[in-house]
């Protein structure tokens, strides 16, 4: 794994390669400024697999550097780990919104740095496997094009959708809040009621387009409430976090989101290849506001959020069944 570390602090640049080497990562390049880093990245002489960026740097802020790297060809999904001596909520929020994958506070030790690097390494390998699978599916004869469908259970990332981040990033965001002692976030899940049906009947392009439209609708719904992040976790579930201190009820969010989705469907004219209209409704689970200790179990928070969305869907199904029987 080729790593580029950028920090204006000479001590950090001297220590970081040593700590990474202790965990088996010896291919580390260091830069003392964002300007030098961008020149090195844009030259294309080396394709880096992972970045460590300090946040507080002169002229080009580390978060701005993260944004600039994210739009460079070939670096849309490259793990970016932010380094900082600060633990301000605004810095954490801005870093993840800019596309950061993880966040480490100084002073750090070999265990923490090594753990972050290993997570990034596993993420890179998982993506390589997914890319190979997609390439094999695309290369099959036309009669086997069903194999090129987006796997139903896989997370996805959406370009140009405000607040949309990859699954690992939102998980790391939750864990970062735990480590820094910051909480009071609203977590909830959005279930696409017809997700399995849409996946089964839609082409790869149709399914991806539908998910992107739902992601945009979520962004439109949450934007007026302040800072938010979302991630498509797979299986028809979006995980969402909002920092609004006056968070609306899940019923109000569901109503507003459904209206936004209905408008998006009408504007985009979402249909299957058969010209049959694509029906999309959502169920929004009751929000969770976990305390600091609960943040240590991000997977548990996510499972609970999804279970609540599934419970909301089941409750609606029961009501519809009773209404049909009446």
CATH fold group of domain 3-122? Rossmann fold (3.40.50)
Q: How far apart are CA 78 and CA 16, in angstroms?
A: 19
Name which of 23-27, 146-150, 321-325 the model is least confident about.
146-150
Q: What is the pLDDT of residues 151-184, one digit of tens each?
A: 899 998 888 899 999 998 998 888 887 666 555 6
What is the residue extent of each domain of the chain? 3-122, 149-325
Q: What is the pLDDT of residues 2-53, one digit of tens each?
A: 999 999 999 999 999 999 999 999 999 999 999 999 999 999 899 999 999 9
Instruction: Yes or no: say if 63 and 95 are a contact pair by the CB < 8 Å rule.
Output: yes
The Cβ-side half-sphere exposure at 143, using a 13 Å CA radius, reads 0
Q: How confident is the model at residue 130 (pLDDT cuts 50, 70, 90)?
A: low
CATH fold group of domain 149-325? Alpha-Beta Plaits (3.30.70)
Residue 230: its pLDDT value, please?
A: 95
Residue 286: its pLDDT value, please?
A: 92
Q: Considering the entire predicted model, what is its pTM?
A: 0.80
What mean pLDDT do residues 199-207 have?
Answer: 89
What mean pLDDT do residues 139-150 have?
Answer: 53
Residue 163: its pLDDT value, please?
A: 92
Q: What is the CA radius of gyration of the chain?
A: 21
Rounded to the nearest 5 percent, the helix, strand and coil shares of the chain are 55, 15, 30
Q: What is the pLDDT of residues 46-78, one digit of tens each?
A: 999 999 999 999 889 999 999 999 999 999 989
Please enumerate in sequence order all residues whose Cβ is within 8 A of that of 107, keeping only pairs 6 or more positions apart, or say none: 85
Q: Write down the mean pLDDT value for the chain.
A: 86
- Return the percentage of the chain with pLDDT > 90, whole number: 52
């Amino acid at each position: 794994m080729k790593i580029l570390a950028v920090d204006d602090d000479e001590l950090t640049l001297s220590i970081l390669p040593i700590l990474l080497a202790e965990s088996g990562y010896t291919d580390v390049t260091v830069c003392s400024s964002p300007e030098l880093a961008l020149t090195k990245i844009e030259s294309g002489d080396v394709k880096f697999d992972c970045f460590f960026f300090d946040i507080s740097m002169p002229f080009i802020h580390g978060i701005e550097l993260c944004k600039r790297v994210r739009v460079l060809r070939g670096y849309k999904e490259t793990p970016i780990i932010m380094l900082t001596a600060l633990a301000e909520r605004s810095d954490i929020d801005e870093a993840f919104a800019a596309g950061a994958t993880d966040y480490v506070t100084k002073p750090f030790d070999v265990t923490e740095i090594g753990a972050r690097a290993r997570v990034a390494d596993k993420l890179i390998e998982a993506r390589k496997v997914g890319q190979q699978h997609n390439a094999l599916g695309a290369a099959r004869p036309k009669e086997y094009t069903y194999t090129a469908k987006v796997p139903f259970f896989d997370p996805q990332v959406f370009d140009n959708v405000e607040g949309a981040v990859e699954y690992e990033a939102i998980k790391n965001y939750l864990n970062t809040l735990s480590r820094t002692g910051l909480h009071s976030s609203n977590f909830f899940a959005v279930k696409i009621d017809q997700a399995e049906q849409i996946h089964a009947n839609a082409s790869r392009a149709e399914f991806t387009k539908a998910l992107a439209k739902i992601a945009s609708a979520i962004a439109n719904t949450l934007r007026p409430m302040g800072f938010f992040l979302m991630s498509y976790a797979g299986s028809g579930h979006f995980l969402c976090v909002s920092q609004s201190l006056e968070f609306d009820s899940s019923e109000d969010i569901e109503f507003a989101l459904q209206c936004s989705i209905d408008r998006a469907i009408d504007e985009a004219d979402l249909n299957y290849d058969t010209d049959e209209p694509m029906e999309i409704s959502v169920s929004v689970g009751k929000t969770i506001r976990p305390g600091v200790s609960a943040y240590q179990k991000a997977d548990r928070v996510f499972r609970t959020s999804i279970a609540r969305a599934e419970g909301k869907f089941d409750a609606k199904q029961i009501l519809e069944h009773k209404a049909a029987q009446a």
